[in-house]
Structure 1
């Protein structure tokens, strides 16, 4: 079976499927999507926290003095 023929067969099955069943599959898909996003959010928050902390440390007078980018402001 060619890929085009397989796609036509799947499309025919989806067209014959009752709307209620399509809505159920949509709900399951949305639930899976939200679950994966919620699982990824802590990792993103951790990464952003690390980046923010590095920026804040880099901006300190001590680090700037060590890197000789800026003289300390008194």
Structure 2
């Protein structure tokens, strides 16, 4: 079987091999393009959750009123002169 495959591929021209390689790469890109929106959406949800978690309000809910004030977790209470 292996010798048969080698014989089949050795008989192909370099132009045909390059064409098949190009089609393969385009298929890969097409698959990734359909996956990328889902990945981007997931990363957006994670980023937004982290940003919400950083807020003073959420930190007060989780750690009490003193934690958010003393840590200034989100930097919302900081006033630089």
Scaled by the length of structure 1, the TM-score of the pair is: 0.83
The answer as to 2:38 corresponding to 1:39 is: no
| Structure 1 residue ranges without an equivalent (≥5) | 1-5
Residues 52-71 of structure 1: pairs in structure 2 closer than 5 A? 52-68=47-63, 70-71=67-68
Q: Match of 2:6?
A: 11
Greater relative contact order (Cα < 8 A, sep 6+): 2
**Structure 2-normalised TM-score?**
0.76
Write out the 4+ residue segments of structure 1 that deviate beyond 4 Å after TM superposition. Answer: none
Unpaired runs of 5+ residues, structure 2, are none
